[in-house]
């Protein structure tokens, strides 16, 4: 006798504990097996590009904070680099500013990886591991907060410089926090890396082949987990990445466990980069000495006519960027964050496009979980680290 | 074979009084102490493990009682919350399910001895509500009924997530019921009885505790027990990140509280069974019943027995608390399994090991004889 | 060795409208009907080997460039082997804009093309599943076009409310 069966259609998200309200999987299930998974995004679409086109070049910075909000400073930096490229002032940025940008980028990367790994553990049911990660992240965020006054939405970088210099005792703060962070790191390692249940959940799940990953446009830790050594910091060095010594961890299998290992090692490498830079921090100003690009200091604005005029013009009309276009790739925590800016000359961008790394990653979700178990969606989805703000913009 | 020793005496009154007292004691321990307090213990213990403070905000006139007031506020909230039944749900079964889930956890306690047997003023007091000679089988039989509660809840909710949860419960319970039964065969062989009081008496000698006689059986049993309890790492039927909340997704208010309570009560039952079978029951290590009675000899013969009884009962609950602590420790340390991994563990690892355990036990017993 | 843009120009001659290397970014601007041919060649040609389709977007030049050039579809390609990048731009006319889909060359282009369709209303011929991605199906218009007012609101209210 042939029993009539039909697949169970399951609507996973956007209101589902694992999808964070930002994505929806339309699943066709055969029991616990996923026959087909259709991914739908856009629940957090806020019209990033349209808003950018309406404001001045400087007013875009707060919007970039809200792309990948776990590593906001990286987006700030990427955008600033793109505008500076359009302005043709890339070489004139003070050394100190570049060094601080590099340090802050790496701090953000650490915070992002902590958040991502922690949240994955939470969704695998290990709440304790999650809170350990969060504690390490809080320490990292404390440093970021001491620099720019905010934990997430930093709004720290400016075209041609930074909003403020580093606070007093920054190096000491970092040197005090890093040993603690290393202890936490080894605790995660002990708690997870050799944990049989964790291994079973992560190994051989959500894998993707090297060719497929490239065809889908994977970048960042997910691509490196497949064994492709592509990191913008090495391939197209920006900031000070060509002057510091660091390694790029690369996986073998491209499964969730390798993605986890790559991220864990990247945290270490980020600490290494920061420690190298903090010892040879150059002095001097953090802002470019060009009042048409970076506002003069408040004292000057209040005391000198020209500075006052520049301040007024920069605020009301925006920085004047000559017509042209530029694309700057940077290595975000999730992969390549590239800003493609088009200017028609004037104070507002004609086009402000960000290449969202997790957009390309999310696209492959359907293929990565095809034929897997329902439970495998969870670690896979966590490891591609979909950030709604970045994916939907 | 039924043991006639404990049949009612001609005078029914002391017997009835004793039984009622025991039922009230167990009921109040479970419903009055464990069900509400374990919520608090769980919060505080997880907080301790995770470098947090834990619940400490609710207060009465400024007294927070280490967060204990939260227990009251929880109860108040759950009692006053809207009881929601989704459209298309089977109302009768939706109502019935939580009761089916919570009752067995309480009933199972009937056969678990929380003390020995004491001769008080000529009345033989036995610290177990129903001293069945098939004691542990009764526990299994009743515990498997609670599975129906979860399965029915999953089915009656008219929700795909609940249904998936219900299916997972069914599969998991079925697999582990079999394995759990087999892990205990070794214990029955060693002690030669299914009656839990007999097993308790046999563990008077510290080195005859189940954990020493059946080490493998102990580890297999605790794994199965964790799986039966449906808590992390075996919480796949209610894995919140996968299937929302599994079979009780559509439950709220008091009915949700009953599932919640069932989980805690099951934890108490499991700890009690663990203690009764592997951890010497009510026995104090290295101190026999007679020694304890001698120690309290200055109180007179009957009062010495009363004192011994109190010590034993306290020791029993102390051991139960210890095991609850261990279970929570495991629950807050590990990530959860995947559905197929749980099945693999149950059928391909625990079941064969349980059979091996039976075989080895038989060999050793033959050897000793 | 000739610059990338010159190599492309030499190979395709007519199909390449113009090239530039503003700010050091290699850029070729090609004719719409040559997209598939050029892209496939760029992916497979040993001296090119652009195996990554990094980014795909469009720009609306309304009022800046003549109407036949209103839109430009912009591709950013990257080659892992040679570690070089190129930008390919394709002008698309204003009336019912459309262009060939490159999903057959890089399957990662799928969502990027859907996004451009969603935001600019540029149809991709041969796309397997061309529908809105960030916005909902009922949305009217394409918000990143310059003639879509920034203050316009289109709240989606469900049928039951």
Which of B12-16, B251-255, C83-87 has the highest mean predicted lDDT (pLDDT)?
C83-87
Judged by a CB distance cut-off of 8 A, whether residue A393 touches chain C is yes
CB of B93 within 8 A of CB of B156?
Answer: yes
The pLDDT, as a whole number, for residue B1 is: 45
- Interval B139-161: pLDDT, tens: 888 888 888 888 888 888 888 88
* Between residues B31 and B182, the one the model is more confident about: B182
B291 reaches A (C-beta below 8 A): no
pLDDT of B3 strictly over 60:
no
Chain A residue numbers touching C141 (CB-CB < 8 A): none
Rounded-to-integer distance, Cα C127 and Cα C104, Å:
8
By three-state DSSP, how is residue B120 classified? strand
Query: Cα B350 vs. chain centroid, distance in angstroms?
Result: 20
**Searching chain A, which residue's CA lies closest to the CA of residue C62?**
A350
H or E element: which one contains B368? helix B351-368
C146 φψ region: left (φ > 0), alpha (ψ -120 to 50), beta (else):
alpha
Range scoring the smallest mean pLDDT among A77-81, B13-17, C24-28, C83-87: B13-17
Q: Which chains touch C (3 or more CB pairs under 8 A)?
A: A
| Contact check, Cβ <8 Å, B242/A124 | no
Structure tokens at A145: 């907060």
Q: Regarding predicted confidence, which is higher, B154 or C67?
A: B154
Q: How many residues are given for chain A?
A: 393
Contact at 8 Å (CB) between B130 and B124?
A: no
- Residue A345 near residue A361 (C-beta atoms within 8 A): no
Q: How far apart are CA A23 and CA A366, in angstroms?
A: 13
* CA distances for B124 relative to A164, B109, B282, B305, angstroms: 83, 21, 17, 11
DSSP-H helix ranges across chain C = 4-12, 35-44, 109-120
> Angle, to 10 degrees, between the axis of helix A127-148 and the axis of helix A170-188?
170
**Residue A283, Cβ density class (10 Å: 0-12 exposed, 13-18 middle, ≥19 buried):** exposed
- Please name the member of A325, A350, A360 whose beta carbon is closest to the beta carbon of C108: A360
- pLDDT of amino acid C2: 65
Window 336-365 of B, Cβ < 8 Å to A:
336-341
Complete DSSP assignment for A227-272 = T----HHHHS--TTTTTS-------SS-SHHHHHHHHHHHHHHHHH
φ/ψ (deg, to 5) at C30:
-120, 165
**For residue B233, cis peptide bond before it (omega within 30 degrees of 0):** yes
Torsion, CA C42, CA C48, CA C53, CA C54, rounded to 10 = -140
Q: What are the tens digits of pLDDT across the range B257-303?
A: 888 888 888 888 888 888 888 888 787 887 777 777 777 777 777 77
Written as one string, the DSSP assignment of B3-61 is -GGGSPPSSHHHHHHHHHHHHHHHHIIIIIIIHHHHHHHHHHHHHHHTT---S----BT
**Structure confidence by residue, pLDDT tens digits, B199-230:** 877 887 777 787 888 888 888 888 888 888 88
Residue C63 DSSP code: T
Residues in contact with B367: Cβ distance below 8 Å, sequence separation at least 6, in sequence order: none
Contacts 24+ apart (CB under 8 A), C145-154: C145/C60, C145/C62, C145/C119, C145/C120, C145/C121, C146/C60, C146/C62, C146/C63, C147/C62, C148/A50, C150/A50, C150/A51, C150/A53, C150/A54
A330 with A238: CB under 8 angstroms? yes
d(CA C63, CA A327): 23
Contact A325 C25 (CB under 8 A): yes
Q: How far, in Å, CA of A244 to CA of A103, rounded? A: 11
Report d(CA C49, CA C94) in Å as an integer. 32
Q: Which two tokens stand for residue B319?
A: 């051991």
User: Span B43-57, mean pLDDT?
Assistant: 83
CB B147 within 8 A of CB B155: no
The Cα-based distances of B148 to A212, A310, B138 in angstroms read 46, 76, 16
Q: Is C113 on the interface with A (CB under 8 A)?
A: no
CA dihedral (B328, B330, B336, B339) positive or negative: negative
Give the pLDDT score at A1: 64
Task: Report pLDDT for C160.
Answer: 60
Choose among A11, A32, A378: nearest Cβ to B241. Answer: A378
Chains that touch A (3 or more CB pairs under 8 A): B, C
Residue of A nearest to B234 (CA): A125
Q: Residue B232 and residue A378: Cβ atoms within 8 Å?
A: no
Sign of CA dihedral B125, B127, B132, B134: negative
Q: Which residues contact A286 (CB under 8 A, 6 or more apart)?
A: A94, A96, A97, A100, A161, A162, A164, A165
Residue C68: band (very low, low, confident or very high) from pLDDT cuts 50, 70, 90:
low
Closest residue of chain C to A325, computed from CA coordinates: C22
Three-state SS at C74: strand
Question: What pLDDT does A46 receive?
Answer: 85
Q: What is the pLDDT of residues A134-176, one digit of tens each?
A: 888 889 898 988 988 888 888 888 888 888 888 888 888 888 8
Count Cβ atoms below 10 Å from residue C137 Cβ, excluding itself: 7
Three-state DSSP state, A17:
coil
Residues of A in contact with B49 (CB under 8 A): 128
Q: Is A18 close to B341, i.e. CB distance below 8 A?
A: no
- Tokens representing B227 are 């799986």
Closest CA to B124 of B295, B204, B9, B24: B9
Preceding amide of C79 cis, omega within 30: no
* 8 A C-beta contact, residue A80 and residue A339: no
* B31-to-A59, B27, B102, B103, B262 alpha-carbon distances in Å: 60, 6, 11, 11, 10
Q: From first to last of its 393 residues, what are the pLDDT tens digits of chain A?
A: 678 888 888 888 788 888 877 888 888 888 788 888 888 888 888 888 888 888 888 888 888 888 888 888 889 999 999 998 888 888 888 888 888 989 989 999 999 999 988 888 888 888 888 888 888 888 989 898 898 888 888 888 888 888 888 888 888 888 888 899 888 888 888 888 888 888 888 888 888 888 888 888 888 888 888 888 888 888 888 888 888 888 888 888 888 889 899 999 999 999 889 988 888 888 888 888 888 788 877 887 888 888 888 888 888 888 888 888 889 999 888 888 889 998 888 788 888 889 888 888 888 888 888 888 888 888 888 888 888 888 888
Q: Do A154 and A143 touch, CB atoms closer than 8 A?
A: no
CA dist B29 and C115 (Å) reads 62
In 3D space, the residue among A232, A210, A206, A251 whose CA is nearest the CA of residue A362 turns out to be A206
Q: Which of C53, C61, C132 sits opposite A217 (nearest CB)?
A: C53
The strand pair at C52-60 and C27-30 is best described as: unpaired
CB contacts of C53 in chain A (<8 Å) are 217
Q: How far is A373 from chain B (nearest CA, A)?
A: 8
B52: chain A residues, CB-CB within 8 Å:
131
pLDDT for residue B9: 55
Spatial separation of the C-alpha atoms in residues B298 and B301, rounded to whole Å: 8
- Mean pLDDT value across chain B: 82
CA dist B37 and B47 (Å) reads 15
Q: What is the pLDDT of residue A351?
A: 87
Nearest to A364 by CA among C105, C110, B342: C110
């Amino acid at each position: 006798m042939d029993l009539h069966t039909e697949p169970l259609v399951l609507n996973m998200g956007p209101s589902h504990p694992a999808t964070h309200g930002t994505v929806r999987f339309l699943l066709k299930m055969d029991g616990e097996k996923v026959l087909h998974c259709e991914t739908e995004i856009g629940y957090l679409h806020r019209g990033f590009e349209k808003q950018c086109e309406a404001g001045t070049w400087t007013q875009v910075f707060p919007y970039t904070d809200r792309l990948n909000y776990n590593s906001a400073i990286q987006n700030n930096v990427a955008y600033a680099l793109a505008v500076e490229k359009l302005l043709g002032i890339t070489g004139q940025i003070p050394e100190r500013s570049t060094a601080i940008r590099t340090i802050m980028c790496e701090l953000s990367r650490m915070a992002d990886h902590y958040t991502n790994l922690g949240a994955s553990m939470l969704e695998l049911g290990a709440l304790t591991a999650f809170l350990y990660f969060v504690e390490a992240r809080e320490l990292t965020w404390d440093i970021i907060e001491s620099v720019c006054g905010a934990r997430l939405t930093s709004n720290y970088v400016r075209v041609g410089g930074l909003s403020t210099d580093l606070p007093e005792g920054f190096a000491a703060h970092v040197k005090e926090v890093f040993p603690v962070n290393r202890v936490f790191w080894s605790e995660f390692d002990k708690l997870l890396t050799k944990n049989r249940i964790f291994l079973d959940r992560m190994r051989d799940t959500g894998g993707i082949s090297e060719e497929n990953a490239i065809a889908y446009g994977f970048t960042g830790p997910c691509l490196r987990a497949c064994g492709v050594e592509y990191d913008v910091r090495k391939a197209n060095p920006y900031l000070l990445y060509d002057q510091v010594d660091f390694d790029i961890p690369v996986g073998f299998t491209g499964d969730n466990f390798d993605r986890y290992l790559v991220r864990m090692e990247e945290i270490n490498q980020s600490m290494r980069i920061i420690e190298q830079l903090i010892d040879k921090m150059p002095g001097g100003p953090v802002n470019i000495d060009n009042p048409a690009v970076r506002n003069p200091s408040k004292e000057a604005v209040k005391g000198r006519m020209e500075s006052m005029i520049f301040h007024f013009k920069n605020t009301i009309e925006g920085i004047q960027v000559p017509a042209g276009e530029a694309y700057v790739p940077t290595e975000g925590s999730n992969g390549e964050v590239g800003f493609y800016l088009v200017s028609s000359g004037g104070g507002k961008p004609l086009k402000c496009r960000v290449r969202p790394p997790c957009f390309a990653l999310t696209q492959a979700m359907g293929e990565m979980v095809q034929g897997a178990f329902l439970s495998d969606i969870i670690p896979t989805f966590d490891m591609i680290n979909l950030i709604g703000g970045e994916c939907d913009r | 074979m039924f043991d006639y020793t404990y049949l009612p005496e001609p005078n029914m009154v002391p017997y009835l009084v004793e039984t009622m007292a025991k039922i009230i004691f167990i009921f109040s321990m479970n419903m009055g102490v464990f069900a509400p307090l374990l919520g608090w213990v769980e919060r505080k213990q997880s907080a301790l493990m995770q470098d947090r403070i834990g619940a400490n905000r609710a207060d009465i006139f400024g007294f927070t009682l280490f967060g204990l007031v939260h227990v009251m506020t929880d109860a108040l909230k759950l009692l006053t919350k809207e009881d929601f039944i989704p459209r298309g749900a089977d109302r009768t079964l939706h109502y019935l399910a939580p009761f089916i889930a919570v009752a067995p956890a309480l009933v199972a306690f009937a056969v678990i001895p929380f003390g020995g047997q004491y001769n008080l003023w000529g009345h033989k007091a036995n610290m177990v509500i129903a001293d069945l000679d098939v004691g542990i089988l009764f526990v299994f039989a009743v515990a498997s009924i609670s599975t129906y509660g979860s399965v029915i809840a999953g089915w009656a909710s008219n929700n795909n997530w609940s249904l998936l949860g219900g299916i997972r419960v069914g599969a998991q319970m079925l697999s582990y019921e079999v394995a759990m039964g087999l892990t205990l065969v070794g214990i029955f062989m060693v002690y030669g009885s299914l009656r839990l009081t007999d097993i308790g008496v046999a563990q008077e000698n510290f080195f005859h505790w189940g954990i020493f006689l059946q080490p493998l059986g102990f580890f297999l049993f605790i794994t199965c027990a964790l799986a039966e309890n449906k808590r992390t790492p075996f919480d796949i039927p209610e894995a919140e990140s996968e299937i929302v909340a599994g079979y009780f997704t559509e439950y709220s208010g008091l009915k949700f509280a009953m599932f919640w309570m069932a989980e805690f009560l099951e934890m108490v039952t499991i700890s009690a069974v663990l203690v009764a079978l592997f951890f010497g029951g009510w026995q104090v290590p290295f101190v026999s019943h007679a020694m304890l009675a001698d120690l309290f000899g200055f109180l007179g013969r009957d009062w010495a027995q009363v004192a011994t009884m109190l010590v034993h009962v306290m020791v029993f609950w102390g051991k139960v608390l210890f095991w609850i602590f261990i279970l929570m420790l495991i629950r807050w340390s590990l990530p959860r399994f995947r559905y197929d991994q749980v099945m693999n563990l149950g059928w391909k690892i625990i079941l064969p090991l349980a059979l091996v355990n039976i075989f080895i036990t038989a060999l050793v017993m033959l050897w000793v004889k | 060795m000739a610059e990338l843009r010159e190599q492309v120009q030499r190979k395709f001659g007519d199909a390449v409208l113009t090239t530039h290397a503003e700010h050091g970014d290699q850029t070729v601007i090609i004719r719409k009907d040559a997209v598939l041919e050029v892209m496939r060649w760029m992916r497979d040609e040993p001296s090119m080997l652009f195996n990554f389709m990094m980014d795909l977007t469009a720009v609306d030049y309304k009022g800046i460039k003549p109407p036949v050039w209103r839109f430009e579809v912009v591709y950013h390609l990257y080659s892992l082997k040679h570690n070089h990048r190129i930008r390919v731009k394709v002008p698309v006319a204003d009336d019912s804009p459309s262009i060939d889909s490159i999903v057959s060359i890089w399957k990662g282009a799928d969502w990027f093309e859907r996004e451009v369709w969603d935001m600019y209303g540029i149809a991709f011929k041969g796309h397997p599943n061309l529908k809105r991605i960030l916005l909902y199906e009922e949305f009217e218009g394409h918000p990143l076009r310059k003639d879509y007012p920034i203050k316009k609101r289109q709240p989606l209210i469900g049928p039951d409310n």
